[in-house]
Amino acid sequence: MENTKIASSANIVKQSVILGDVTIGADSTVLFHAVLRGDCAEIIVGKCSNIQDNCTVHTDRGCPAVLGDYVTVGHNAVVHGCTVGTGSLIGMGAVVLNRARIGKECLIGAGSVVLEDSVIPDGSLAAGNPAKVKRQLTDEERRKLYNNSLHYVETGKKLKKDGYCI
């Protein structure tokens, strides 16, 4: 795991794979069978973020993957060479492709495909294939994005206490 930097308070399940140039911030959680492969470019995961079961985070040369703080990547999602802003949630089974930029406090609907070079503005709900902005999130919906992330901080701590984490 050369060039891999994992905060001591991060919760990394033993059955995940993390290799290459990967940085994982404080209190972040990586769950079962998630793969973070920084072999082509850098992957950065901010603090209090979570990469859920069976997710893939990968890059291409010149296309790092940068996930802000309090980001949730839902089960089976693929995040590839893109930027995801602080407080955003990538829904289950969604795909976000190279050079896409997801703003802060966005919700990408389950099963959506965010195409290469797409830009999703701050505070947006985007869904579909290809993903399109449907509307702006309410203040309550934005708060729930952070609450979801904090729930997974606690989940990660419990998994670590129960011996599932490195």
Residue pLDDT tens, the chain, 166 long: 478 999 999 999 999 999 999 999 999 999 999 999 999 999 999 999 999 999 999 999 999 999 999 999 999 999 999 999 999 999 999 999 999 999 999 999 999 999 999 999 999 999 999 999 999 999 999 999 999 999 999 999 999 999 999 9
Domains of the chain: 5-161 (2.160.10.10)
Give me the long-range contacts of 81-84 (CB less than 8 A, separation at least 24): 81/41, 82/114
Q: What is the pLDDT of residue 137?
A: 99
Indicate the pairing of strand 124-128 with strand 131-136: antiparallel
What is the number of other CB atoms lying within 10 angstroms of the CB of residue 14?
10
Q: Distance between CA 9 and CA 28 in Å, rounded?
A: 8
Which among 120, 133, 31, 130 has a CA at the least distance from the CA of 83?
A: 120
Q: Mapping DSSP to helix (H, G, I), strand (E, B) and coil, where does residue 85 land?
A: coil
Neighbours of 162 (CB within 10 A): 8
Global pTM value? 0.97
